[in-house]
Amino acid sequence: MGDLQDELKKKILKEKEKHESSNKTEEKVMIPFYLDQEKKKLNPQWFESEAERWVGKLMEKRQRGTELKLTQLRKFYNEILVLDEKRKNKKGKFDLILPYVKMLKSKAAYSYSGGKNSKIPENFKLFLYSMVDQVKTEEDFVAFKLIFEAIVGFCVGKGIRS
């Protein structure tokens, strides 16, 4: 049992190091969800050029042959929709939902193994990590959900396959 735990710890550390080194450039180019401090004005770039830029990255076929499939994209989008329903049902208690939003990162890590068996490409994992890292409030989550909806729309429009 100890060997399995040691192996899992090593894999987690390796994944964390890999994420930190490869994610540094992505995090620097992430634009804010909002144009204002009050979080009332969504940044329209997310629904135009920024969404299309990310879709271009997400649709790239990775070196190891992993490409983003519609089923995986929908899986994560459906998860976000479920969280949104929970948010609506627990009005004013977003702090109860936030841990589940943050757990999307672990689900992305699980789907991305870094090899031929990855269900999602690395760019999709990095996208989810970067977006989830920006979610701190209920308003942030709503913006994230809308941006993800735009990403889904552009992916389908560009012919993402199942």
Residue spans of the domains in the chain: they are 27-157
Q: What was the pLDDT predicted at 63?
A: 42
The model's pTM:
0.74
What is the Cα–Cα distance from 102 to 67, expressed in whole angstroms? 24
Mean pLDDT, rounded, of the chain = 80
Please state the three-class secondary structure of 64-132 as a single string.
CCCCCCHHHHHHHHHHHHHHHHHHHHCCCCHHHCHHHHHCHHHHHHHHCCCCCCCCCCHHHHHHHHHHH
Mean pLDDT along residues 145-150: 92
Report helix, strand or coil for 18: helix
Write out pLDDT tens, residues 16-65: 565 555 444 444 457 788 888 888 888 888 888 888 888 888 777 644 45
